[in-house]
Amino acid sequence: MKNVMGIINLVNEPDQLEQLTNHRNIASVPFAGRYRLIDFVLSSMVNSGITNVGIFTHTKYRSLMDHLGSGKEWDLDRKRSGLFILPPMKEGWISPMGDLHAIHAHRDYLHRSSEEYVLLSRSYMVCNIDFNGLQEFHNRNQADITVVYKEMSDLDSISMQIGMDENSRVRSIWEPNAVPHGNKVSMEMYFLKKSLLIDIIETSLAEGHYNLMKDAIRANISRLNIFGYAYQGYLGIINTINSYYKHSMNLLNPSVWKDLFFKPGLIYTKIKDEPSTRYINNGHTSNSLVANGCVIEGIVENSILFRGVRIRKGATVRNSIVMQNGVIHENSSIVSVIIDKDVIIKEARTLVGHEKAPYIVVKRKII
């Protein structure tokens, strides 16, 4: 992908992940045993040839900075271009003027970048996409803006829908809470010229508007040539607890795992050296995803264990997610539970949730 810079916009992302985002933003929520949500769109950009990526942060981004570091794992630790984490002008500030104001505050970054095109994205789209096809589609249709979408029938997240005519021209964009119209879900990925982005931002702000999608893109839907580009791969829009749990459990399907992590490119994340998982005292797992560094003495079924988890003798974990360094002590039973990092479940405890309402244990909790 030539002459394109990437922007991952974290400002005012819809967030219904409850306790999982008490101390972190959506972008850095752990996922799939060793990854963070932002890894998917960031890896897709890098695999598509984008070497200049700016991340517009909003709040609770310390964990994200620790995860991304210099961008080495994504080959973005470069002398020129590379990874830029752009904090808000004031930490914790929730702008009443929306994300347009936040992006405009970093307009110097846009002006200094030499690329002609911009790919804008959110952080919570779990997918593996080759953006080269998007650029070809955009140029072939002589579009002003191209929006990536996917046809989906089962929605459990906060997402927008678009309406298109027979020529793939976008005619409508509906708010997340609007009555469903068809099955074309916007992935909130926009491809356009950088000069156009700057122009619509400055024009919208001058007119007293503040929201990128609503005021700068949707308001210009009749004036600009906005086209829809269909994505065919696996997609998880993860901004609610139900969508997080559902798409985590979907990873236990080998075909989903292969589609998401290996096609068309690999998904990269921060590297941590850990020993292999050990099974002792007849510890057993089935249909589960287990990261390195775990010690399993009990039974694990249909679950995801992150790095360094300990399952003690007699403990059972079913249909659950246990994040990094969690410890489940002897004879405890865990069913349909999401356990955040560094949690300790003492002996003979029973925690039961439901697949439609999983029980959540907050970070560093001792039960």
Six token digits for residue 290: 């287990």
Mean pLDDT of 80-103: 77
pLDDT at 98 exceeding the cut of 90 = no
Same domain for 214 and 71: yes
Number of domains observed in the structure of the chain: 2
CA-to-CA distance for 235 and 225, rounded, in angstroms?
A: 26
Q: Are residues 229 and 306 in the same domain?
A: no
pTM for the whole structure = 0.94
Rounded to whole angstroms, how far apart are CA atoms 150 and 135?
A: 17
* 96 pLDDT above the threshold of 80: no
Using one digit for the tens of pLDDT, what is the confidence trace for 287-340?
A: 999 999 999 999 999 999 999 999 999 999 999 999 999 999 999 999 999 999
pLDDT digits (tens, 9 = 90+) for 117-134: 999 999 999 999 999 999
**Token digits of residue 200:** 């619509």
Q: Supply angle C-alpha 23, 68, 5, rounded to 5.
A: 115
- Both 284 and 249 in one domain: the answer is no
Looking at the structure, tell me whether residues 121 and 159 fall in a common domain: yes
pLDDT of residue 91: 56
Query: Is residue 240 domain-shared with residue 286, that is, in the same domain?
Result: no
Higher pLDDT, 161 or 333: 333
- 113 within a domain of the structure (yes/no): yes
* 330 and 211 within one domain: no
**How large is the average pLDDT for residues 16-28?**
93
Instruction: Judge if 125 and 23 occupy the same domain.
Output: yes
Mean pLDDT, residues 69-81 taken together: 93
Of the residues 262, 286, 309, the one at which a domain ends: 262
Residue 58 lies in a domain: yes
State the CATH number of the domain containing residue 185. 3.90.550.10
Indicate whether 92 and 175 sit together in one domain: yes
The Cα-based distances of 32 to 96, 122, 343 in angstroms read 34, 19, 18
Q: Write out pLDDT tens, residues 225-240.
A: 999 999 999 999 999 9
Instruction: Flag whether 192 is in a domain.
Output: yes
Point out which residues pair with 126 in neighbouring strands.
236
pLDDT tens digits, one per residue of 246-283: 999 999 999 999 999 998 999 999 988 889 999 998 99
The whole domain housing 14 covers 4-262
What is the chain's mean pLDDT, rounded? Answer: 92
Asked whether residue 273 is domain-assigned, the answer is: no
Mean pLDDT of 154-165: 84
Domain of 300, CATH number, reads 2.160.10.10
1 vs 197, which has greater pLDDT? 197
Q: How far apart are CA 261 and CA 250, in angstroms?
A: 13
**pLDDT for residue 99 is more than 90:** no
Q: Which of 213, 234, 262 is the last residue of a domain?
A: 262
Q: Quick one: pLDDT band at residue 7, thresholds 50, 70, 90?
A: very high
In a domain, 270, yes or no: no
Same domain, 21 and 51: yes
Residue 285 counted as domain residue: yes
Both 185 and 304 in one domain: the answer is no
Q: What are phi and psi of 101, to 5 degrees?
A: -65, -40
57 and 126 fall within a common domain? yes
The secondary structure of the chain, three-state, reads CCCEEEEEECCCCCCECHHHHCCCCHHHCEECCCEECHHHHHHHHHHCCCCEEEEECCCCCHHHHHHHCCCHHHCCCCCCCEEEEECCCCCCCCCCCHHHHHHHHCHHHHHHCCCCEEEEECCCEECCCCCHHHHHHHHHCCCCEEEEEEECCCCCCCCCEEEECCCCEEEEEECCCCCCCCCEEEEEEEEEEHHHHHHHHHHHHHCCCCCHHHHHHHHHCCCCCEEEEECCCCCEECCEHHHHHHHHHHCCCHHHHHHHHHCCCCCCCCCCCCCCCEECCCCEEECCEECCCCEECCEEECCEECCCCEECCCCEEECCEECCCCEECCCCEEECEEECCCCEECCCCEEECECCECEEECCCCEC
Q: Does residue 301 sit within a domain? A: yes
Return the minimum-mean-pLDDT range out of 63-67, 90-94, 113-117, 306-310. 90-94
Residues 27-48 pLDDT 10s: 999 999 999 999 999 999 999 9
In a domain, 271, yes or no: no
What local confidence, expressed as pLDDT, does residue 193 receive? 96
Instruction: Give me the percent of the chain exceeding a pLDDT of 90.
Output: 77
Q: Both 237 and 323 in a single domain? A: no
- Among 195, 227, 262, identify where a domain stops: 262
pLDDT value at residue 93: 55
